[in-house]
Amino acid sequence: MADEKRIVLTGGLSGGHTFPLIAVARTIKARAGTSTSFLYIGSRGQFEERSMTAEGIPVRYILSGKIRRYFSWQNFIDPFKVPIGFLQSLWHLFLYMPDVVFAKGGSVSVPVCLAAWVLHIPILIHDSDAVPGRANALLAKFASRIALAYPSAQAYFPPRKTALTGNPVRTEILSGDRSSADARFGFTADRPVVVVLGGSLGAQALNRAIVRVLPQLLREAYVLHQTGQNNYQEVVMLAGEMGVKAGHEGYVPVPFLEAADLGLAFARADLIVSRAGAGSIAEIAACGKPAILVPLSSAANDEQRKNAYDVAHVGGALVLEESNLGEHILFSKIDELLRNPELRSSMGQNVRVFHNPMAADMIAEGVLSLAD
């Protein structure tokens, strides 16, 4: 088709980067239909391959480096991956020759966007956090337009090409209902539900802290626990050591919640205990749920802590630092909120200010305008 718009998507290694790409791609498809095609260029990760394939989006993989704030032997190897990834990106972009690149950040987006800039392909980047990640801070000078989720991030980017859009979320997140959730997870309506989200990759410290309070917590609530694929077996074993069998006594651990199941989880949740990744906060805000946020202490640029305290500042969540994840304080905070429906309701209303229902539409409009 002569007037077909070709769009490259990039960014990844976590659901927080990958899922907004999907939300915006769906919105673009709804607007432009068959006059658009997509290609994803990124790292080989579980979310990228599974999510893009499910959407019918072809995938091309490249090498990319990563800056770690901790010692790893990979720190000595990754710098050599970047120029290789740049050359691979040049090749894939040259073959596909897109009209625009939409980048969600992360180290993998750097070689793709630099290659796009060399080929004079316009770039729109989106940053999800209260403080921009290193990749987007670097790419700002090469981007044609920049979309932001948090007002506080505006100070880091050129105003002339920056717009505040919020974070897009997948439509399935908003489509759940309580009765279907009860049927899906084996709950009954007479008890509250605490949903634990360690992020798409799971969170070992948060997982272990929740397991330690399970005997007390299960006396008054069901617990639906997304553990992360790599941590599931350990969580089940540790819960067993605490006398709690997975799938019994109201405890439902799952490695990962697909979008439809996550929508059911949000619909049924009376309280969320979550990491403070931008994607998780966007979904919590979209569903108007009270939350206890536990920022990942090793997150790049300390972005999760800043995200969490921005939400807490408006009364949308309580924040617990990893260093305060002792069983007594964790259980007392959960118990306090479960026993205070008025406070939960207030928090759920307050957190909604972090959701813009038009986020995906605004970003899609920006992408399509650059493709013209």
pLDDT at 72 over 80: no
For 101-150, the pLDDT digits (tens) are 999 988 899 999 999 999 999 999 999 998 888 899 999 999 999 999 99
Nearest to 307 by CA among 328, 281, 284: 281
pLDDT at 68 over 70: no
The residue among 298 and 31 whose pLDDT is bigger is 31
Q: By the 8 A CB rule, do 62 and 91 touch? A: no
Task: Return the percentage of the chain with pLDDT > 90, whole number.
Answer: 75
Q: By the 8 A CB rule, do 316 and 350 touch? A: yes
pLDDT for res 287? 97
Q: Which two tokens mark 89? A: 């990106």
Helix (H) or strand (E) holding 193: strand 193-197
Nearest to 311 by CA among 258, 272, 341, 339: 272
φ and ψ of 336, to 5 deg: -60, -45
Nearest to 115 by CA among 4, 14, 49, 41: 41
Q: How far apart are the C-alpha atoms of 370 and 365, rounded to whole Å?
A: 9
DSSP SS3 for 331: helix
Structural domains in the chain?
5-169+356-371 (3.40.50.2000), 172-354 (3.40.50.2000)
Q: How far apart are the C-alpha atoms of 82 and 325, rounded to whole Å?
A: 37
Residue 119 CA, chain-centre distance (Å), reads 30
For 238-274, the pLDDT digits (tens) are 999 999 999 999 999 999 999 999 999 999 999 999 9
pLDDT for res 200? 58
pTM: 0.90
For 282-328, the pLDDT digits (tens) are 999 999 999 999 998 766 668 899 999 999 999 999 999 988 888 78
Torsion angle of alpha carbons 256, 213, 337, 193, nearest 10°?
Answer: 40
